[in-house]
Every structure is written in C-alpha cells, then in structure tokens.
Amino acid sequence: MAEINAVLARLTAAELEEIQALGPKGHLGRHLIDALDRAAGGPGAGRGLYVLDGTVNNNGGQFHVLRNDISDRLFNTPTAQN
C-alpha cells in the first residue's frame, strides 16, 4: 500500500478541501476514490485507503469512507492507544 503522507500530498487542493468538507466519515464519491487511486499510483492503487462503511445507497451500491487512520491523520484526530 502507498505511503499515506505521500498520497495525501499528491491530492489537489480542491480534492483535499472536498474530502475535508465531507468530514471524517463522509461518503467518498467515485471521483474522490479515483483521485485517491491516482495519488497512490494508478487505478486501484488506493484500495485500502478507503473502505466500505456498511451502508447501501438506493441503487444497491455501497458507500466508501476513508480508513480510520487515514481519516485521523487528515482531520488531526488523536488515535486511541490500547
């Protein structure tokens, strides 16, 4: 999997703003998934940076959100330590 900081650095300012506007658990549109893939190195390369959130849209499609540690880093949320 691609290095998180490098991927985030390759997103455009507009893409980062849109992700931040969605919030830590915001549903990522196809264009944002494509942007994460592009930033990670190409088609499908960002898999693992985003995950299914368990909900389904009206068309039966599933929603993707940022993985927790990616979201925590982007939104500067402290990660719980066990």
> How far is the C-alpha of 75 from the C-alpha of 50, rounded, in Å?
15
Report yes or no on 81 lying in a domain: no
Domain of residue 69 covers 4-74
d(CA 67, CA 49): 5
pLDDT tens column, 19-68: 999 999 999 999 999 999 999 999 999 999 999 999 988 888 999 999 99
pLDDT category of residue 78 using cuts at 50, 70 and 90: low
Q: What is the DSSP letter of 29?
A: P
- In the predicted model, is pLDDT for residue 80 greater than 90? no
Q: Which helix (H) or strand (E) holds 4?
A: helix 4-10
- Residue 23 domain-assigned (yes or no): yes
Average the pLDDT over each of 33-37, 48-52, 70-74, 76-80 and give the range with the smallest value.
76-80
Q: How far is CA 60 from the centre of its chain?
A: 21
Q: Look at the chain and report how many structural domains it folds into.
A: 1
